Amino acid sequence: MKDIATPGRTKDILERHGFAFKKSLGQNFLIDANILTRIAEAAGIEPEDGVIEVGPGIGALTEHLAKQAGQVEAFEIDQRLLPILEETMAPYPHVRVHHRDILQVNLGAFIHENMSECRSISVVGNLPYYVTTPILMAVLEQRLPIKNIVIMLQKEVAERMAAVPGTKAYGSLSIAVQYFAETEKVMTVPKTVFIPQPRVDSLILRLKKRSAPPVHTVNEEFFFRLVRASFVQRRKTLWNNLLHQLVGPEGKGRLLQAFEQTGIDPGRRGETLSMEEFALLANELAPFYQ
């Protein structure tokens, strides 16, 4: 049987089931098996491993994952895809499809109850924009027992996640992601390998969860508040953003002192600071904001 991810087989499946794409659910299906191979390879899955797939669609990526993993748990929000997946996944009894909105799933409990036998677990998905960041941050922040995350997403968002200081794409999302994981861009995927074609290119991103954060923070929650505040108005200085978005007029003295103690120039913009510098500043101020 041909791969699902070929133009001919995908069209045949969609036509036979009378399927109409829902733009609101980010339904752009991949029709290039080589790209799927790259995604599955990037996840480095072995037969003893389990995979959580977000948004299987008609099963194009699921099929590739199923050929490598011992267990695949796929979460699909669109009920109309269930009969299609039942058909396309019939040769793969170790794939289970769940009709769920992934954002409503308690993944920690799910893994505990269903995937305790797996040697390691990866989260893989070709994700619509609105799901990507929340699901990724949930997986990372909840410190779930997940080794690898391989996601294909809108190129611009992926670039922001992987960005380094001093670049336009660098911001609070870069720090939020890189605090928990090492990021690696696997490849750019042109919009031409999807039906229907999306407006923008995509990028495959691999995230390897860190065993410990790369910087020391005395108060993690405050560190992230300070990072977010630093980028509220990108063109403004750190001083301006932190004064107005974080400490307020009454914190002016403390803020000045924190800059002096850390040797960080308050005239710099947030986009020039490394994660370590953000941590230094946050650690100076945190005791006043517990």
Residues that bind ligand SAM (CB under 6 A): 25-30, 54-57, 60-61, 75-78, 81, 101-103, 126, 128, 131
The DSSP secondary-structure symbol of 51 reads E
Closest-CB residue for ligand SAM?
55
Shortest distance, position 36 Cβ to ligand SAM, whole Å: 7
**Calpha distance 144→147 (Å, rounded):** 9
How many C-beta atoms lie closer than 10 Å to residue 131's C-beta? 20
Shortest distance, position 104 Cβ to ligand SAM, whole Å: 8
**Residue 5 or residue 275: which is nearer to ligand SAM going by CB?**
5
**Residue 195 or residue 232: which is nearer to ligand SAM going by CB?**
195
Q: Return the structure tokens found at 142.
A: 């909840």
**Calpha distance 151→132 (Å, rounded):** 8
**Residue 74 or residue 162: which is nearer to ligand SAM going by CB?**
74
In this structure, are residues 118 and 70 in contact, taking their beta carbons and an 8 Å threshold?
Answer: yes
Shortest distance, position 168 Cβ to ligand SAM, whole Å: 26
Residues 6+ apart with CB under 8 A from 21: 27, 28, 196
**Calpha distance 274→179 (Å, rounded):** 11
Chain position carrying tokens 């800059």:
259
**Calpha distance 257→147 (Å, rounded):** 40
**Residue 169 or residue 195: which is nearer to ligand SAM going by CB?**
195
**Residue 57 or residue 270: which is nearer to ligand SAM going by CB?**
57
Shortest distance, position 96 Cβ to ligand SAM, whole Å: 14
Report helix, strand or coil for 236.
Answer: coil
Shortest distance, position 201 Cβ to ligand SAM, whole Å: 13
Shortest distance, position 154 Cβ to ligand SAM, whole Å: 10
In this structure, are residues 280 and 264 in contact, taking their beta carbons and an 8 Å threshold?
Answer: yes
**Residue 73 or residue 284: which is nearer to ligand SAM going by CB?**
73
